[in-house]
């Protein structure tokens, strides 16, 4: 009788690990060792109690205004970024491998950018086809021959990892080395989590992450072109209507630097100034969260009202440092991605620690014909897009959508790559409709900081979760949420 009562009230009732790698359970009802304590904790909670905690967490996000903006209704509405209270836990040993793999990858990407805007040895040695580079929309000719401070291009990199259910191995899904966002959610998720489930942290040694803003600030200080202890550093935002605006304010505040918009800055004689109430003040370092295209209407898109006329001139003259560097998009192009393992071998002479997802480049005729023949079983992505836009997921696509992509692939093959559908690992997440736990697909975006010498990665990163049942798309614009990510201090 009592038994039945407990089962009735169980958060994990009817939990199905399915045919996927489940991060929490090795087998149904049997938690993996590094999840054992958390599972015990959660099991003790009745669905109603858990629902209460969830509301507490949601309210905390609302109160702090931690929201993102969606524009689908034409007005730009603020939404909460859904947060799931079940943590994603990584054992220390697993994290060590990831950390090594990411550091290696970031170094290789930075060396590639130095090279491709410098001597172009990699093109001369035919490791990567010249045509692929020069046809990349984000390859920036204005950057050729520009010496960037300390040779750093990828000050901040967000590298998306997934765990393949088939092998249990982590794979790199994509690199983001332009203006990767999401770190503020990582830091805020942790804050809310420690307030909502304080007991859980006492049971585990969880590695801290709150040193991120200080580490980034240190890098910004290092790249200042003028000497002195107190360079003027600013964070350049497109403004309040940008979907990542919360993050911009958060980081500026955490680093204690000025948050500026394009209209706050002006360039005179290749020097950047900001407009203060007592006149113009020279700016040394800009952590910019505006895309290349919009930075400087004189150099790039003339219709940009977000940027600062003359900024590229000041940058090229070495009077201001930008992070990340301009032109980085050539390194995270989804077609170039296929060559990153080759970069690692070429520049570092090492084998990649983390593998890529198998990728067909539609620019190669033999790959294109394979892709065209197998569209219903592949994922097709436009190379320059991000945020889950411009994608075809073959197995769940309609025939019309597949035909549409077939046309697009034939018309512009360089613009597309294809990959097999990866069965992303799953982690329990709370389903508000049933009040129970259900397996949902997740990925992981760690944030890597590079100071020209070492790569610093705050343990964990952003775990995004596809909250729609069965969905493989974790982007917030497509109904994704996030989880707090724990890297355990020691072995379990």
Partner 1 sequence: MMLSRIADSLFWMARYMERAEDTARILDVNYHMMIEESPHALRMRWDPLVAITGEQERFAAQCSEATPRNVFEFLAFSADNPSSIVQCITSVRENARTIRDRLSRELWEDINSLYHNVTRFNPEEEIAVGPHRFCNAIRFGSHSFHGVADDTLPHDEGWNFLQAGRALERAEMTARIVDVEYHKLVESPGTGDTAGNHQWMAVLKSVAAYEFYRRQYHVRIEPERVAELLVLHAQHPRSIRFNIATVQQSLRAISGSGPGFYADEAERLTGNLHATLVYDRIEDIFARGLHTFLDDVQKVCRSIGENIARTYFYYAVVA
Which residues of the shown chain bind partner 1 in the complex (CB under 8 A)?
Answer: 62-65, 232, 239-240, 245, 248-250, 252-253, 258-261, 263-264, 266, 268, 274-278, 281
Whichever of 140 and 259 has its CB closer to partner 1, that residue is: 259
Whichever of 268 and 385 has its CB closer to partner 1, that residue is: 268
- What is the spatial distance between Cα 316 and Cα 196, in angstroms, rounded to a whole number? 48
- What is the spatial distance between Cα 20 and Cα 168, in angstroms, rounded to a whole number? 9
Whichever of 49 and 281 has its CB closer to partner 1, that residue is: 281
Residue 257 Cβ vs partner 1, minimum distance, rounded to whole Å: 9
What is the side-by-side strand order in the sheet with 360-361? 360-361, 416-420, 378-382, 391-393
Whichever of 298 and 421 has its CB closer to partner 1, that residue is: 298
Residue 272 Cβ vs partner 1, minimum distance, rounded to whole Å: 12
Residue 190 Cβ vs partner 1, minimum distance, rounded to whole Å: 16
Let me know: does 21 contact 426? Beta carbons within 8 Å.
yes
Residue 491 Cβ vs partner 1, minimum distance, rounded to whole Å: 37
Q: The dihedral of CA 108, 109, 115, 118: what is its sign? A: negative
What distances in angstroms separate CA 385 from CA 178, 235, 340, one per listed residue? 12, 24, 18
Whichever of 191 and 475 has its CB closer to partner 1, that residue is: 191
Let me know: does 461 contact 189? Beta carbons within 8 Å.
no
Whichever of 215 and 258 has its CB closer to partner 1, that residue is: 258
Q: What is the DSSP letter of 477?
A: G
Residue 62 Cβ vs partner 1, minimum distance, rounded to whole Å: 7
What is the chain's percent helix, strand, coil content, to nearest 5? 35, 25, 40
Report which secondary-structure segment, H or E, holds 113: helix 92-116
Q: The dihedral of CA 57, 442, 105, 91: what is its sign? A: positive
What distances in angstroms separate CA 64 from CA 74, 246, 331, 382, one per listed residue? 24, 10, 35, 36
Residue 261 Cβ vs partner 1, minimum distance, rounded to whole Å: 7
- What is the spatial distance between Cα 57 and Cα 149, in angstroms, rounded to a whole number? 42
Residue 259 Cβ vs partner 1, minimum distance, rounded to whole Å: 4
- The span from the first CA to the last CA of the chain, in angstroms, equals 36
Let me know: does 180 contact 157? Beta carbons within 8 Å.
yes
Let me know: does 304 contact 298? Beta carbons within 8 Å.
no
What distances in angstroms separate CA 189 from CA 28, 30, 208, 216, 489, one per listed residue? 28, 27, 12, 19, 19
- What is the spatial distance between Cα 412 and Cα 213, in angstroms, rounded to a whole number? 41
DSSP string, 310-372: THHHHHHTTSSEEESPTTTHHHH-TTGGGGHHHHIIIII----SSEEPP-EETTSHHHHHHHH
Whichever of 232 and 442 has its CB closer to partner 1, that residue is: 232
Whichever of 269 and 400 has its CB closer to partner 1, that residue is: 269
Residue 251 Cβ vs partner 1, minimum distance, rounded to whole Å: 8
Whichever of 249 and 477 has its CB closer to partner 1, that residue is: 249
Residue 302 Cβ vs partner 1, minimum distance, rounded to whole Å: 16
Residue 187 Cβ vs partner 1, minimum distance, rounded to whole Å: 13
Residue 407 Cβ vs partner 1, minimum distance, rounded to whole Å: 43
Whichever of 191 and 478 has its CB closer to partner 1, that residue is: 191
Whichever of 284 and 292 has its CB closer to partner 1, that residue is: 284
225, 166, 161: which is closest to 355 by C-alpha? 161
């Amino acid at each position: 009788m009592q038994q039945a009562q407990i089962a009735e009230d169980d958060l994990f009732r009817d939990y199905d690990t399915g045919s996927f790698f489940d991060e929490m359970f090795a087998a149904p009802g049997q938690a993996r060792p590094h999840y054992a304590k958390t599972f015990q904790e959660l099991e003790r909670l009745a669905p109603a109690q858990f629902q209460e905690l969830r509301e507490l967490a949601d309210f905390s996000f609302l109160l702090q205004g931690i929201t993102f903006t969606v524009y689908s209704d034409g007005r730009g509405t603020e939404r909460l970024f859904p947060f799931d209270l079940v943590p994603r836990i990584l054992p220390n040993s697993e994290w060590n491998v990831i950390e090594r793999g990411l550091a290696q990858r970031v170094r290789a990407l930075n060396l590639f950018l130095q090279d491709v805007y410098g001597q172009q040895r990699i093109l001369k040695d035919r490791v990567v086809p010249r045509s692929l580079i020069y046809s990349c929309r984000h390859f920036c000719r204005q950057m050729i021959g520009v010496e960037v401070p300390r040779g750093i291009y990828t000050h901040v990199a967000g590298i998306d990892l997934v765990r393949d259910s088939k092998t249990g191995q982590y794979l790199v899904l994509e690199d983001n080395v332009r203006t990767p966002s999401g770190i503020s959610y990582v830091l805020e998720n942790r804050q809310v989590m420690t307030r909502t489930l304080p007991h859980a942290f006492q049971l585990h040694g969880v590695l801290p992450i709150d040193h991120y803003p200080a580490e980034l600030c240190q890098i910004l200080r290092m790249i200042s072109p003028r000497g002195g202890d107190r360079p003027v550093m600013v964070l350049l935002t497109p403004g309040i209507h940008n979907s990542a605006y919360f993050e911009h304010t958060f980081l500026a505040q955490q680093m204690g630097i000025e948050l500026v918009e394009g209209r706050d800055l002006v360039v005179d004689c290749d020097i950047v100034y900001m407009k203060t109430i007592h006149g113009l003040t020279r700016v040394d370092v800009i952590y910019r969260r505006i895309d290349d295209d919009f930075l400087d209407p004189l150099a790039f898109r003339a219709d940009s009202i977000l940027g600062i006329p003359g900024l590229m001139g000041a940058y090229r003259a070495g009077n201001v440092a930008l992070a990340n560097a301009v032109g980085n998009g050539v390194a995270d192009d989804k077609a170039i991605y296929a060559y990153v393992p080759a970069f690692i071998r070429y520049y570092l002479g090492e084998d990649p620690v983390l593998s890529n997802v198998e990728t067909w480049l539609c620019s190669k005729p033999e790959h294109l014909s394979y892709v065209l023949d197998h569209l219903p079983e592949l994922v097709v992505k436009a190379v320059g897009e991000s945020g889950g836009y411009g994608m075809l997921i073959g197995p769940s696509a309609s025939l019309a959508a597949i035909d549409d992509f077939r046309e697009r692939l034939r018309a512009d093959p360089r613009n597309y790559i294809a990959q097999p559908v990866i069965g992303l690992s799953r982690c329990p997440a709370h389903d508000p409709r049933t009040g129970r736990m259900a397996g949902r697909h997740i990925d992981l975006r760690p944030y890597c900081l590079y100071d020209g010498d070492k790569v610093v990665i705050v343990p964990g990163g952003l775990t995004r979760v596809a909250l729609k049942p069965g969905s493989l798309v974790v982007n917030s614009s497509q109904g994704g949420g996030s989880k707090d990510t724990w890297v355990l201090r020691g072995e379990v």
